[in-house]
Chain A
């Protein structure tokens, strides 16, 4: 079945550092790709998405580009802030057989120190 693999954490950075969290996927069809973020004590929320190859999703300074040739959707931010400390999940959307479900990676915990 479809799967998502993302880099294991935890990741610890200093404020204003560059962030990359790698994500690769395996899918039989053409899924949509997502990054979700879970801030401490809060529920998951959508950070950004891309629905087809070469699309770039962006939000709050974060970006990720849907790369079909490398089956990747790496998350990047040029200058992280303390408030970006959270767990980040890469996910893909399956729509086979009439079902609709998200397949998630294991999550990457990011800590940004001042």
Chain B
């Protein structure tokens, strides 16, 4: 596709359930980021993938959060045993290389934990 695609666009789940959020980056982009945007807050960095390098997981808020990127393309962010404070918009972004001059964001997944 022409841009970064995220699915689902909206997800409502019950507290304690696991959820998976998907990101399809722009073809050929080696860098992929996940951010979280909570109501009234800025974007919070979660995780960064660059090519075949070990990901930077320093932003993951707890061990309930994990992410993987298969084949250097599609990425999945998994949240286990969801809590109400996990409710937020989860944004994915990709870039053709290191740096942020050509960073493209998806429209995000709105996660609501009831």
Binding site for B on A (CB under 8 A): 4, 32, 34, 41-46, 49, 89, 91, 93, 98-107
Tell yes or no: B106 within 8 A of A by CB: yes
Tell yes or no: B58 within 8 A of A by CB: yes
**25 A-B pairs whose Cβ atoms sit less than 8 Å apart in the complex:** A34-B100, A41-B107, A43-B3, A43-B4, A43-B105, A45-B104, A46-B100, A91-B43, A93-B99, A93-B100, A98-B56, A99-B58, A100-B48, A100-B50, A100-B56, A100-B99, A100-B100, A101-B56, A102-B35, A102-B43, A104-B43, A104-B44, A106-B40, A106-B41, A106-B42
Tell yes or no: B25 within 8 A of A by CB: no
The residue in chain A whose Cβ has the minimal distance to the Cβ of B40 is A106
Given contacts A100-B98, A101-B59, contact A44 B42 (CB under 8 A): no
Contacts of A98 in B (CB 8 A): 56
Q: Which residue, of B44, B45, B98, B100, has the highest number of chain A Cβ atoms within 10 A?
A: B100
**Chain A interface, >50% SS class:** strand
Alpha-carbon separation in the docked complex, A98 to B51 (Å): 13
Q: Which of B13-49 contact A (CB under 8 A)?
A: 31, 33, 35, 40-45, 48
Tell yes or no: B60 within 8 A of A by CB: no
Binding site for A on B (CB under 8 A): 3-4, 31, 33, 35, 40-45, 48, 50, 56, 58-59, 91, 93, 98-101, 103-108
Chain B nearest CB: distance from A40 CB in Å?
11
Contacts of A100 in B (CB 8 A): 31, 48, 50, 56, 98-100
Alpha-carbon separation in the docked complex, A43 to B1 (Å): 15
Asked whether A99 lies within 8 Å of B48 as measured between CB atoms, the reply is yes
Contacts of B31 in A (CB 8 A): 100
